[in-house]
Structure 1
Amino acid sequence: MTNRLRVGIIGAGGIAKGVHLPAYQKCGEQVSVVAVADVVKENAQRLAEQYEVPHVFDSYEQMLAEVELDAVSVCVPNKFHAPAVIAALKQGCHVLCEKPPAMTPEEAEEMARVAKQTGKILTYGFHYRHSAEVEVLKRFIDAGELGDLYAARVHAIRRRGIPGWGVFTNKELQGGGPLIDIGVHMLDTALYLMGYPQPELVLGSTYQKLGNRKGVGLMGAWDWENYSIEDMAIGMIKFKNGATLTLETAFAANVEKDDVMQVTLMGDQGGADVFPLKIYQEKHGTLLDLNPAYLPSGSDHEREIGRFVEACLTGADALCTPEQGVIVQRIIHALYESARTGEAVKLKS
């Protein structure tokens, strides 16, 4: 590999245009984005012209075969994550794949297997891990300030935030709705801070009450007549270490606030809300609320991309591992399976 990382982009949609391309550009001389592929070649062409990318393809297979690449960003709908990631890994590329890892646990397991087999980095776009709040709280947790983390609450809830663009309401292409889109971000954040414990038992319910009818849209008009995902998912995960996590996520719910993204942790030495960061402790006979006076500014996405680039160039470990991707995918699948059957799902080791 040269000292300059040669990057290809698979998928020319909003996340590629709004996050990956500009973040790679801010890496300066460390990175050259040299190719973009999208099944709609005109979209790839427009993106390439905007960011001065020299090569354009309507097939990522052709891009991987014809352009020498060191790394790839996978920015396609969830259904196509696994084949694109596996193809890039087998071609010798490091891969940053947008979340969620895949559509099924089996796909995530195969992606992890190929990453191990090829010795290439595979990491996922859980950008909240790279936030200043999470970084600070992780240091407190690692220092034992919260003690044994035995309970967590996860919220990713919008009042009327069904995306009016893309394929977010298409279950066939996405695999689900708010659980697999925004809920997975807060779920991963909680799991990361808890040390990614092994799940044992999962109970979930999903609801489609609001998205399949006309209504107010705070994120644009959506195709309510072809709405095939859940509005809301609610679940509980019990881990093998005895800890418990409860989850609520929704694109549309009759609640007060327009948008809530929050992780709450409870340990025997302290607790915390992550966004914004506040730590709760009892010390010297006093109950304390601790607020950081200052947190570093900057984009979580830019830190994520920058650290991926650094890992590719130096061989450092990526923050999110393929094995963690497998765990979160198993939990998502189990929540949907429990909702479908009405029964709790017991996960194997």
Structure 2
Amino acid sequence: MKKFALIGAAGYIAPRHMRAIKDTGNILVLAYDINDSVGIIDSISPDSMFVTEFERFSEYANRIKRNPETAIDYVAVCSPNYLHHSHIVSALRLGCDVICEKPLVPTPEILDELALVEKETGKRIYNILQLRHHQAILNLKDKVAREKTTEKYEVDLTYITSRGNWYMESWKGDPRKSFGLATNIGVHFFDMLHFIFGKLQKNVVHYTSEHKAAGYLEYEKARVRWFLSIDGNDLPATVKGTKPTFRSITVNGDEIEFSEGFTDLHTVSYQEILNGKGYGIEDARHCVETVNTIRSLSITPPDAGEGHAFLNALN
């Protein structure tokens, strides 16, 4: 049984990590968040220590590591994006391996810094790249590998997840902390595209605002038009009023259904990590590079065939 600590226990994604820890037969012994709305711990790991100051988290973790029977093995990082780097480094220097939410960090330069700390401490960093475990995505990857066509696939990626007024008031609405919409909600989709279609060859941004973004990515095996939004007004008429989220990937006009099957992917990710097959720094590098470039690009009008269909409603 491995012992876990968790940073960011009051966040949206933290319960999935807590359940993954429990469902893989391990135990959460320490949790930290500046907010104390963490009652979910009672149903998952009621005996876990909980603190609201990082100094107390660090002191407690250092104290219990003196005894191999109580020392923490892994730290799960679920804190706001801009804190990932410092929390990962702190956990490595505690002598723990780290499992971190996406985006791992905002830039390739920080990835290089993390690699140095890995080398210094002898500990490992793993990134949750959960779509690599989704069966529909794995099926598509196998299909692309089998077909070996010389023509690039025509792909449309659409992700609309309605968010209320709270979003812009939270750290997620502050680009200094979330690194913007394309990074915060798009990074694991960009990782998925690389996972299936190979190296990125072209990266263009057609539209960006606080609530939505769109662009074009060309990979070795695909031409991808993408659209991301947190504005419920962008939902297609077929789902508006019935569902708050719309996920769609079409490949050469065929819809790839992957709306379901998300809830257990963190547990699968944890199982793979614990079995020595997790995704590390170099696995995350491609998508970090992609979103880092997107943040720096100027808006460019789409060339013929490169604009997402939803762009028409924005112009």
Structure 2 residue 269 is the aligned partner of structure 1 residue 317: no
* Alpha carbons of structure 1 residues 148 and 33: separation in structure 2 relative to 1, 3 Å: farther
Where does residue 229 of structure 2 map in the other structure? 250
Q: Distance in 1 between matches of 2:254 and 2:99?
A: 30
1:202–1:298: structure 2 CA closer, same or farther, 3 Å change rule?
closer
Any idea what the Cα deviations from partners look like across 1:97-136, whole Å, max 9, x if unmatched?
A: 1111123332233224433554433222222222221233
Residue in structure 2 matching 1:263, options 228, 249, 267: 249
The separation in 2 between residues aligned to 1:326 and 1:155, in whole angstroms, is 23
Tell whether the 8 Å contact from 1:23 to 1:302 is kept in structure 2 after alignment: yes
Q: Which amino acid aligns with 2:249?
A: V
Is structure 2 residue 260 aligned with structure 1 residue 274?
A: no
Work out the number of aligned pairs and report it: 282
In structure 1, the residue matched to 2:268 is: 303
Letter in 1 for 2:257: F
Is the aligned partner of 1:87 residue 2:87?
Answer: no
Distance (whole Å) between structure 2 residues aligned to residue 304 and residue 148 of structure 1: 33
Q: TM-score, normalised by structure 2?
A: 0.76
For 2:33, the aligned partner's letter is D
Identity of paired residues, percent? 20
Runs of 4+ in structure 1 displaced over 6 angstroms?
295-298
149, 152, 155: which is aligned to 1:150? Answer: 152
CA deviation string 1:198-249 (max 9, x = no partner): x3442214433xxxxxxxxxxxxxxxxxxxxx2111122334x475333211
Q: How does 1:162-241 map onto structure 2 within 5 Å?
A: 162=164, 164=166, 166-177=170-181, 179-195=182-198, 197=199, 199-208=200-209, 230-239=210-219, 241=220
Cα offset for 1:148? 5.3
Q: Give the TM-score, by structure 1 length.
A: 0.69
Alignment CA distance shift 1:8-1:34 (3 Å): same
Query: Contact 2:14 / 2:78 at 8 angstroms: preserved in 1?
Result: no
1:120-139 superposed matches below 5 A: 120-139=123-142
Residues 260-289 of structure 1: per-residue CA shift (max 9 Å, x gap): 2233445xxxx8643249xxxxxxxxxxxx
The structure-2 alpha-carbon separation of the partners of 1:27 and 1:171, relative to structure 1 and needing over 3 Å to count, comes to: same
Is the 1:86–1:114 contact (alpha carbons within 8 Å) kept by the matching residues of 2? Answer: yes
Partners of 1:6 and 1:149 in 2: how far apart?
49
| Runs (5+) with no aligned partner, structure 2 | 65-70, 303-315
Aligned mate of 1:35, from 9, 19, 30:
30
User: CA contact under 8 A between 1:234 and 1:249: conserved in structure 2?
Assistant: yes
